Structure 1
Amino acid sequence: MKKFLLKLSPLFAAVFLFFACSNNVEKTNGGWETINDILKNIKQPTFADNEYNILDFGAKLDSTFNSKPAIQLAIDKCSENGGGTVLIPSGIYFSAGSIFLKSNVNLHLQDGAKINFSTSSKDYLPVVLSRWEGIECYNYSALIYAKDQENIAITGNGIFNGKASAENWWPWKGKTEYGFVKGMPSQLDSMGRPRLLKMNLEQTPAEERIFGEGFYLRPNFFQTINCKNILIEGVTFKDSPMWFLHPILSENITIRGVTVIGNGPN
């Protein structure tokens, strides 16, 4: 199994921008002196001193009980009341579907906390605005998703486990090394990836690019769209259906001390 240890910070964003904007990196000597100025403009989100324990909202320390409604209710109430921290106490929980982050909420996993996600594709419906391989469309929601939110965080030393494997999501890649067997449906079918590429080439409006169930385009693990002031710190992401961390059109992002464990396909 491949293990990727990411210890990223605002420096990551600065370095990325530096290289992306350079036409010839090897011949460029200047630019690094601007990093400190860039970092000064990246501020971590802060949160109100309020705590919402998911156990108080109906979550159970049970790896088979669906605690998603309780987790979501705690997040929603926290955001509605001005924000704070939604606490995931130590233990194993199960989420049958996506967790939607909301403004001014820090989703904090205590040491020993683990959330296992469902591998049933129907649990990630209805479709939401997404980007799949960089192409805008409506598809399954990411396991953890946010759109048009600000001041959001995932922190702590717990684990988010997507439970993806060659028994569920990964064969959709269409490659035998990920469990695909000839005759299985995959993203390579005409109505999947080829259809999306064709729509993009023809400039079909995004709202008409509807995918989801039956099209075999795997969801990401963590995805934000049009969000700002984001912190991901300390947590572990394991076995994603597709990409792990995918911020889109988002700004002011800090990723620090994150561990990513996966042996699946992009």
Structure 2
Amino acid sequence: MRQRIQMNALRYLLKKETHASTITSEVSNYDTYWIYFTPKEQSSEGEEGETQESADPVKMLVEPEADKPLRARRVRKLNEGRQKPKAITTAMIKAVEFEIRHFYGETETTYTSPVVAALSRFLRIHWLLWFWHRFSKANASRKTKFLRERKTVLEVIVRLDDERQSGINSLSVAREIRGPDLFLLPSEVKARYFRHIHRIIDSLAFTQEIEYDKNRKTYTPTGKSMASLLEWEKELRIHRSQVRRERMIVCLTLVIALGTTVQAYQAIFGSAL
């Protein structure tokens, strides 16, 4: 009975997926199950029907064919050809360890039971895991704060250098960023802000976007500065796009949840009337 339930769960998963034989970071709309199982006790036939322990575990991969009987083939080794698939029977999966990898969007979840994987699919838990992953990325704006600050400081140094200004330091950069309001800040806040700008300038010098000219006693941008600005702008643009998409998903989720609640209310109390 247990093996039949597991086989039905496998069929359910294969019907729900859109299979992909490879996974790359350039694609973000995966819905793929890679299903493996390995017998807990490995054995192979010897002479005259004897059974001997197998040196290597026989890892099987379930074929992604939802419209055909369940089949599995042995995962091929290095420099080995594709193995012929075999029909999956209840005896074959009587004592096995499952490894079910679900690639959904940008998330990957591993299950050790086809029944648990099927329940997760039926209850849309896989979608919640994906949503939580995306929500966490949308809330990562704090992680880009320092990147934005580095970009702003470097842009100011490049602009001041283009204007042939000398003595570019933390004070002149801070004055360009905050404007006249800088000197209206309380002394403690102003000193803390100067220290923060100075640390950013030190970090830019450490990563060689700028260098200190001892003769002119000023910071000047290097050839790496423009490449870094382009790269940072690309990263920030991708992040902004992700945040906008996550906000749209949150709004759509709230609309769907509200509509489901209204339908459930009408179904329950409407029938009672």
Judge same fold: TM > 0.5, yes or no.
no
Higher relative contact order structure (alpha carbons within 8 Å, sequence separation ≥ 6) = 1
Larger Rg computed on CA atoms = 2
Task: Compute the TM-score of the two structures, normalised by the length of structure 2.
Answer: 0.19
